[in-house]
Structures are given as C-alpha cells and as structure tokens.
C-alpha cells in the first residue's frame, strides 16, 4: 500500500530524515527534472517555465531548473510572489509556487501557450501538489492551475486524493526521496495488496464455513435485498440466508413484484435465487432471529431497503445491540441507529462495519463530514468502536485506533441507486469468508470501484456490477499470481548470482 500523511506529519518526517534538507531538495529537483524530461519527450532545445515560491517547494523547483539547464533545456524561473502578467510560451511549466501547507487564496497568471500548439496551454508539472490546493482537505484556495502531472514527495497527501483537489492534480506519482514513512497510519490500497487479501476457499470447504444472514428489503425496495444477496455470494459467501421482514418468501419478493417477465428474468439471473429464505414477521423480528443457531453464521448484513417504519427501526436497534456476529450496517440500518449510534454500538461485543454516505454520517453524528474526510471517518470510528467506511469519490475506511485505508479507483457512475446495496453485500460476503473487518471493507470498496472501471463507459445500473464482479476478481487474482511469480524469479536469480 502507498503511505498517506498529512502536511504536518510530512514536516515531522522531513525533520527526522538523517540527511540535511539541502540533500532532500536536490533529490526532489532531480526527480522533477526526470519527470519533466519524460513529459517533453526529451530535453535539448526545450523551453520550461518554473513558477517558484520562497519555501522548500520553490527550492525544489529551482533545483529542477538547474538540472534541466544541464540537459540543454532553456529555463525561465519566475518568483511566484511577483509573477508577470503573462508567461512566455513553453513546452512545460513546473508549478513549484506553494506546497501542501498553503491556506490562503492563490491565483497565478494564465498558463503560458504550448509551443507545439500555441492555441493550447502548456502542460503543467506540479511539485508535491498543485499550488492553491489544501494538502489536508483538497479544498481549493483561489484559482489555481490544473496540473497535468503531480510529482509528490515522501508520501501521498490527503489533498491529492480528496475532492475537489484531486481534479487539479492530474496524474499523481510518488518519489519517496529515501524518507522513512513507516509512521504513516493511512494508506492507499493498491491492486497488489487487494489481490493478496482475496479469500481462498480450502479444499475441504463446505457452505456453512462461509455462511451469512442478510436482513434486507421491503415491498417498496425489493431490489435492495436481491442486489445485496447476489453481491454476498460473489464476495465469498457459500450460504446466504435472506430475510425480508413481513414477507414469507423473501427470495421471490423482487421477482413477484416485477411487472414484466424481462425484469423478473433480470432479477433471477443476478444470483439472489441461490439464497435460502427465512421468513420474519413485520415487527419484533429480533426475537425470532435470536432463537436460531447463530453460531453457524460468520457475518450478518442488516439495513438495505428495510424502510423506516418505527417498528422496523426498533427491531434493527434490538438486533444491533444483541447480535453476537460480525455485522455490516448499511442504509436504513444506519438511519435506525441515528444519534444513538455510539450508545448502541458500544454495547456490542462483535465487530461492526458501518457504511455511511454524507447524509447518513450527518444522521449519526449531527454534523456533515469534516472536509478532512480521513479525520471524519476516524472520529466516528473512535466514538463508536466500529470500522467506518465513509463513502465518496475517495472512500475512507477507518478503525478506532486511527488506522485508515483509502480507495479512489471508482467513478461517478457509482452514484446511482443500488450500488450501495452491492457494496454492503460484498463486504458481508468477504467477512463471511474470513477477511478481517477493515480489510473486508477496503477490499470491497476497491473491487466495487475496479468493477465499475472495467464496464463500458456508458450509464450503468447496479446490477451490471453483479455480473461483472467475477471478472474483476479473476483479473485481481491473476495480478497477484503474476507478482508472486516475478518475485520468486527475482529471488531465485539473486540467490544463484555468484
């Protein structure tokens, strides 16, 4: 995984480095010069404009200018505090005006024309972060440039990942500069780590080893139960018990409510027909559940599409307070807890994962998430004792101890009805397959986003994710096998080298 640190944490990491700051600046300058050369397709005869501030960020830009000049590049360095009204044409601009700690508005002059195509602005390479983007929150201060590429140093910063800052940073690459980032408590999940977390079913597996129970759906929202159940099966559950309170045959609820044969066929082929029905009364259904042999189940999911009737909310609160199983709470399950989330979840002895979007977060805490979404997720995790998956363009998963994992590989098409039900079911499936809670939540978010990316670039329905998940799983597992083979070959070569 890739470390993520706040600007303040980065200052401490820099201060702890065994090398003096001048050495780090020279390393950053070389790295910037290398990326600039790659972006321009060469160096000799190229023209670069550097916008340089007074701090270390500006020093990085000036160091890059020195190395680029040695390679035959014509470089002009401008003081960010006294910029000209217009900048000369260039093949590339290096934005080294201000770093991650800027808190005031910054509005530079218009980017210079691109020498190859004067009607277009020149590409921009940002040093560490696009100047004017808050390194902690991603908030925009002023009217900054939109970078084509950002080379960040040491570790990722939250502002590179959080909306709207991520829109100003372009392609982001990391140059560690030899710094020790092991103190980082937040990380970005990568494909290789996601692959290593995929559960593997043992040769002697049977369905009850990975069983889960889903309580979801209603007459008005039958599809939520279908989507969540199908996703749990795709996520590793070998047996899914489905209960739709008030309906005697939950697995047929969505099909029975469909108005056309095509909708019924679509619902059935999404996989929920494999679930085993268990009827629950419309109210007081925790009494029925608690008398079952819950030890046979590895996880529960409660909430998607249950509705907000007071008797339903009361049954949800009773289940959450008493269920001895790892539990995923989503949708109406979160609404039922409301401001009582802390008192209720702190009574639990088993792991809990909550999956709020911004509106649900407000319902649980009384406030919208802080612009520092890592802090927002950590705060809810700390006070509730739960693993928190805070949904957004950058999804943040946080533990009560402050550790956090981010995923940012989805796209805006996931902001459509039913995709949250798929995510909740996928988390439950991974939990039932033995993946630890934090990893289950983060891995599910990563698979969810990766599946969306793999679909044709067209409007997407949540059910599209269900059918595409196996291909994402297979591609992810294959990536892990290739990485393992490469690593083994490398180790073997090193071992036999005289």
pLDDT at 261: 32
The DSSP letter of residue 142 is B
- Which residue in 146, 124, 144, 153 sits closest to 39, CA to CA? 124
C-alpha dihedral sign at 344, 346, 348, 352: positive
Angle of CA points 64, 70, 75, to nearest 5°: 55
Helix (H) or strand (E) holding 495: helix 462-496
Among the ranges given (187-191, 257-261, 393-397, 463-467), the one the predictor scored with the smallest mean pLDDT: 257-261
Contact (CB, 8 A) for 243 and 312 = no
Cβ neighbour number for residue 7 with a 10 Å cutoff: 18
Cα separation, 446 vs 388, whole angstroms: 15
Say if residue 480's pLDDT is above 90. no
Chain segment 291-349, per-residue pLDDT in tens: 999 999 999 999 999 999 999 999 999 999 999 999 999 999 999 999 999 999 999 99
φ/ψ of 151, rounded to 5, equals: -105, 110
- Per DSSP, the three-state class of 2 is strand
Say if residue 252's pLDDT is above 60. no
Cα separation, 134 vs 100, whole angstroms: 6
Phi-psi region of 201 (alpha: psi -120 to 50; beta: other; left: phi over 0): beta
Cα separation, 430 vs 200, whole angstroms: 11
pLDDT confidence tier of residue 263, bands split at 50, 70 and 90: very low
Structure tokens at 330: 């989503």
pLDDT at 222: 87
pLDDT confidence tier of residue 489, bands split at 50, 70 and 90: very low
- Direct distance between the N- and C-terminal alpha carbons of the chain, in angstroms, rounded to an integer: 33
pLDDT at 431: 98
Cα separation, 154 vs 191, whole angstroms: 20
> What is the edge-to-edge ordering of all strands in the sheet holding 2-4?
2-4, 186-188, 404-407, 395-398, 387-390, 352-354, 327-329, 299-302, 211-215, 239-243, 276-277
pLDDT at 4: 98
pLDDT confidence tier of residue 53, bands split at 50, 70 and 90: very high
Helix (H) or strand (E) holding 193: helix 191-197
CA distances from 79 to 50, 105, 108 (A): 9, 17, 11
Mean pLDDT, residues 91-97: 98
Cα separation, 315 vs 320, whole angstroms: 9
φ/ψ of 203, rounded to 5, equals: -60, -30
Cα separation, 217 vs 409, whole angstroms: 28
**52 has which bridge partners?**
79, 96
Cα separation, 493 vs 485, whole angstroms: 12
Phi-psi region of 458 (alpha: psi -120 to 50; beta: other; left: phi over 0): beta
pTM: 0.91
Cα separation, 91 vs 436, whole angstroms: 49
Mean pLDDT, residues 118-131: 97
φ/ψ of 78, rounded to 5, equals: -115, 145
Cα separation, 366 vs 38, whole angstroms: 49
Chain segment 346-379, per-residue pLDDT in tens: 999 999 999 999 999 999 999 999 999 999 999 9
pLDDT at 256: 42
Cα separation, 334 vs 389, whole angstroms: 12
pLDDT at 204: 87
Angle of CA points 268, 423, 185, to nearest 5°: 160
pLDDT at 18: 94
Long-range contacts of 462-466 (CB under 8 A, 24+ apart): 462/227, 462/416, 462/417, 462/418, 462/419, 462/421, 462/422, 463/227, 463/266, 463/270, 463/418, 465/231, 465/419, 465/422, 466/227, 466/230, 466/231, 466/234, 466/270, 466/271, 466/422
Question: Tokens 């501030």, residue?
Answer: 53
The DSSP letter of residue 347 is T
pLDDT at 247: 82
């Amino acid at each position: 995984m890739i470390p993520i640190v706040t600007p303040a944490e980065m200052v401490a990491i820099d201060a702890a480095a065994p090398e003096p700051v001048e050495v780090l600046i020279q390393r950053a300058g070389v790295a910037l010069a290398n990326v600039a050369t790659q972006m321009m397709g060469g160096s000799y005869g190229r023209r670069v404009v550097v916008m340089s501030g007074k701090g270390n960020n500006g020093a990085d830009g000036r160091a890059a200018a020195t190395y680029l000049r040695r390679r035959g590049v014509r470089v002009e360095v401008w003081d960010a505090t006294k910029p000209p009204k217009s900048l000369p044409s260039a093949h590339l601009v290096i934005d080294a005006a201000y770093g991650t700690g800027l808190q005031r508005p910054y509005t530079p002059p218009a980017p210079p024309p691109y020498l190859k195509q004067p009607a277009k602005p020149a590409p921009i390479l940002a040093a560490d972060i696009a100047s004017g983007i808050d390194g902690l929150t991603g908030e925009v201060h002023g009217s900054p440039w939109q970078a084509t590429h950002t080379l960040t140093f040491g570790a990722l910063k939250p502002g590179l990942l959080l909306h709207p800052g991520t829109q100003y940073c372009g392609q982001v690459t990391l140059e560690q500069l030899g710094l020790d980032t092991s103190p980082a408590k937040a990380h970005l999940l990568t494909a290789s780590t996601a692959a290593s977390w995929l559960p593997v079913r043992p040769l002697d597996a049977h369905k009850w080893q990975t069983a889960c129970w889903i309580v979801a759906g209603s007459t008005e929202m039958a599809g939520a139960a279908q989507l969540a159940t199908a996703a749990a099966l795709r996520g590793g559950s070998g047996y899914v018990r489905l209960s739709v309170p008030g309906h005697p045959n939950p697995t047929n609820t969505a099909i029975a409510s469909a108005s056309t044969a095509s909708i019924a066929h679509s619902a059935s082929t999404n996989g929920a027909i494999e679930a085993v029905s268990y009827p629950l009364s419309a109210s007081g259904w925790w009494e029925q559940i608690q008398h079952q042999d819950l030890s046979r189940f590895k996880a529960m999911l409660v909430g998607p599409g249950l509705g907000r009737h007071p008797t339903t909310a009361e049954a949800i609160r009773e289940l959450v307070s008493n269920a001895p199983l790892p539990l995923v709470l989503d949708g109406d399950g979160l609404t039922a807890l409301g401001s009582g989330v802390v008192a209720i979840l702190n009574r639990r002895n088993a792991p809990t994962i909550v999956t709020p979007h911004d509106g649900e977060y407000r319902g649980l805490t009384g406030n919208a998430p802080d612009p520092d979404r890592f802090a927002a997720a950590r705060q809810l995790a700390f006070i509730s004792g739960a693993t928190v998956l805070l949904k957004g363009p950058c999804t943040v998963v946080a533990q009560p101890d402050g550790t956090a994992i981010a995923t940012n590989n989805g796209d805006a098409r996931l902001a459509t009805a039913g995709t949250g039900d798929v995510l909740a079911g996928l988390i439950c499936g991974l939990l039932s397959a033995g993946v630890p809670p934090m990893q289950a939540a983060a891995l599910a978010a990563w698979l969810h986003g990766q599946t969306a990316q793999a679909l044709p670039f067209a409007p997407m329905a949540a059910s599209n994710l269900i059918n595409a998940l196996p291909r994402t799983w297979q591609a992810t597992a294959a990536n892990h096998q290739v990485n393992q083979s490469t690593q083994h070959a490398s180790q073997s070569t090193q071992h036999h080298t005289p």
